[in-house]
Amino acid sequence: MLWQGHPQWRRLALHAFHLRAVAFYFVVLLIWLIAQGVLDGDSARTMARAAAWLIVPCAGACGILALLAWLSSRTTQYTITSKRVIMQFGMALPITLNLPFSKIGSASLRLYADGSGDIPLATSGEDRVAFLMLWPHVRPWRATRTEPMLRAIEDARAVSEILARAVVAAANSAEVTRPAPVPVAVDTDLAAATSAATA
């Protein structure tokens, strides 16, 4: 085992469960409600009462999404070994996805401001995994050709380097009868490792 980790629940809440977008939706509704009250000549007390009724479902919806993100983080574990990537997840029904390096066609890296990020893994071959079965550990908007994704992981750049080195080592290993496809990465560090492996 070379690395093991799990998603950061706050990043998961923002980018997978879209907590920020839901909160923004309720803020827009609140502004519209107050503006409508002003145009109708309602009293401040009436508008405050109406706003309170809107705040309750807003807090409930955001709380549920945050709880789901936290539970998803607690029940998810990503592992990189010298031969494969293993994804274990599932709040109600535990699922284990085993991805040998030979089945990974490419990998990329998306970094966030705090250093966390996502690592999508494009699979090769004819085998496909259902998008809904993988969610939220899947690259968005890739329903027809799903890409499993190490999502919202801390220090994603360092993890991408570990993955790149592991793939290169596996490709150069004497035990491997056929060289595994080396990920073509968006990140510069991964791209450098890829070039070194194919040189």
* pLDDT tens digits for range 124-159: 866 677 888 888 999 988 877 888 999 999 999 999
Place of tokens 């923004």: 24
- Whether 61 and 106 map to the same domain: the answer is no
Residue 21 has pLDDT above 80, yes or no: yes
* Number of domains observed in the structure of the chain: 2
Mean pLDDT of 53-77: 93
Residue 37 is assigned to a structural domain of this protein: yes
Residues 30-39: contacts with CB within 8 Å, 24+ apart? 30/54, 30/55, 30/58
80-103-136 Cα angle (round to 5): 65
Q: Among 47, 73, 99, where does a domain finish?
A: 73
Contact 20, 100 (CB under 8 A): no
Nearest CA to 143 among 157, 158, 129, 163? 129
Neighbours of 78 (CB within 10 A): 23
At residue 173 the predicted structure's pLDDT band, cuts being 50, 70 and 90, is: confident
Residue 2 is assigned to a structural domain of this protein: no
What domain range includes position 126? 78-198
Contact 35, 27 (CB under 8 A): no
- Whether 22 and 102 map to the same domain: the answer is no
Contact 148, 121 (CB under 8 A): yes
- Whether 176 and 95 map to the same domain: the answer is yes
- Whether 37 and 85 map to the same domain: the answer is no
Residue 1 is assigned to a structural domain of this protein: no
Give the tokens for residue 145.
């050709």
- Whether 161 and 134 map to the same domain: the answer is yes
What is the reported pLDDT for 127? 67
Q: Among 73, 97, 120, where does a domain finish?
A: 73
- Whether 99 and 68 map to the same domain: the answer is no
* pLDDT tens digits for range 2-20: 999 999 999 999 999 999 9
Q: Among 31, 47, 73, where does a domain finish?
A: 73
What is the reported pLDDT for 88? 94
